[in-house]
């Protein structure tokens, strides 16, 4: 695809995604007139969508692609639990409880070699409990076109940053009791479990691949690391309560009327 056609396609996809997001509607992949054809187009489309949404700040989610690459998308809106925030609920919205890390120093592209896990861990200055809200304008999600899903900010619909956690949980969170409820109704009551078994797996992969915005791995950036409980649908709005272990807990509200 030549540059002019590529630019036109990126702009069209970004407008389509933004319209769907702003109206709270979903559309199947096959119905999109244009789609990103590769990760480069997807990231440029994502940048435009984020610009249209007024995304600010330096908070990111990292994910793996079907081909084994690692990519990011901005977390927006990004809220702190101490403010007791209310966020928009939509039918079909899912929730993921995650560990987020804040970088205390830059992780620049290495001219030689690769980062190891200890190098990533040493760059982390703070560890937090958090919740990601997931809702995509693409009805069939990432299953048909991962680049289109990446353009849609990997389905992110918001993030609530909870309390600080002990740094040791980066190495030992597996099995820690995790409780999630909505209006007192228990959604999850079991041990925390990351899909890879290590909360730093995807961040390590991304740091070594670096396919994404340079600002995503600079000091002060917050990066969420993947769900500790899978993703489960929130059938109706209400007060969400989260507790990890015996002390770390927070709550916030999902509302249909924002």
| Beta-strand pair 94-103/232-233 | antiparallel
Report the predicted TM-score, pTM, of the whole model to 2 decimal places. 0.94
Please give the sequence-ordered ranges of beta strands (E in DSSP) within 104-151, or none if there are none.
124-134
From CA 25, how far away is CA 28, in angstroms rounded?
10
Helix axes 39-53, 3-23, angle to 10 degrees: 50
**Domain locations in the chain?**
56-255
Going by the DSSP 8-state scheme, the letter that residue 109 receives in this structure is P
Q: List the one residue out of 127, 123, 76 whose CA is nearest residue 98.
A: 127
Q: pLDDT 10s per residue in the chain (258 long)?
A: 445 468 899 999 999 999 999 999 999 999 999 999 999 999 999 999 999 999 988 999 999 999 999 999 999 999 999 999 999 999 999 999 999 999 999 998 888 899 999 999 999 999 999 999 999 999 999 999 999 999 999 999 999 999 999 999 999 999 999 999 999 999 999 999 999 999 999 999 999 986 778 788 999 999 999 999 999 999 999 999 999 999 899 999 999 988
Q: Is 207 helix (H, G, I), strand (E, B) or coil?
A: helix
Residue 224, both tokens? 């969420």
From CA 43, how far away is CA 257, in angstroms rounded?
31
From CA 43, how far away is CA 45, in angstroms rounded?
5
The angle subtended at Cα 232 by Cα 175 and Cα 198, nearest 5°, is 35
From CA 235, how far away is CA 125, in angstroms rounded?
36
Specify the DSSP element, H or E, that contains 191: strand 185-191
For 65, phi then psi, to 5°, come to -90, 165
Q: What is the reported pLDDT for 80?
A: 97
From CA 55, how far away is CA 37, in angstroms rounded?
24
Q: What is the reported pLDDT for 105?
A: 97
56-255, CATH topology level: Fumarylacetoacetate hydrolase; domain 2 (3.90.850)
Q: What is the reported pLDDT for 4?
A: 47
Q: List the one residue out of 180, 200, 197, 198 whose CA is nearest residue 189.
A: 180
Strand partners, 94: 134, 233
Which strand ranges, in their side-by-side order, compose the sheet holding 185-191?
86-88, 248-255, 238-244, 177-182, 185-191
Going by the DSSP 8-state scheme, the letter that residue 82 receives in this structure is G
Q: Looking at beta carbons, which pairs linking 105-110 to residues 24 or more positions away fall under 8 Å?
A: 105/219, 106/217, 106/218, 106/219, 107/207, 107/217, 107/218, 108/217, 109/210, 110/208
The angle subtended at Cα 106 by Cα 101 and Cα 107, nearest 5°, is 85
């Amino acid at each position: 695809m030549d540059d002019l056609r590529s630019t036109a396609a990126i702009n069209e996809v970004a407008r389509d995604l933004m319209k769907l997001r702003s109206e709270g509607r979903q559309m199947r992949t096959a119905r999109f007139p244009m789609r990103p054809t590769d990760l480069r187009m997807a990231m440029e489309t994502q940048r435009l969508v984020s610009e249209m949404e007024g995304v600010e700040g330096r908070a990111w989610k990292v994910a793996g692609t079907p081909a084994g690459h690692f990519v990011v998308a901005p977390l927006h809106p990004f809220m702190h639990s101490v403010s007791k925030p209310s966020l928009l609920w939509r039918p079909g919205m899912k929730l993921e409880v995650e560990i987020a890390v804040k970088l205390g120093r830059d992780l620049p592209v290495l001219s030689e070699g690769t980062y190891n896990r200890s190098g990533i861990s040493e760059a982390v200055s703070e560890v937090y409990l958090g919740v990601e809200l997931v809702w995509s304008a693409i009805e069939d999600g990432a299953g048909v076109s991962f680049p289109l899903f990446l353009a849609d900010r990997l389905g992110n619909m918001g993030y609530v940053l909870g309390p600080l956690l002990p740094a040791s949980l980066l190495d030992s969170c597996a099995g820690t009791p995790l409780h999630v409820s909505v209006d007192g109704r228990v959604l999850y009551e079991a041990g925390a479990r990351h899909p890879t078994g290590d909360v730093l797996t995807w961040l390590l992969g991304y740091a070594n691949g670096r396919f994404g915005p340079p600002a995503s791995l600079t000091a002060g950036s917050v990066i969420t690391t993947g769900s500790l409980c899978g993703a489960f649908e929130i059938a109706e709005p209400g007060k969400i309560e989260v507790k990890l272990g015996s002390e770390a807990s927070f709550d916030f509200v999902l509302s249909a009327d924002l």
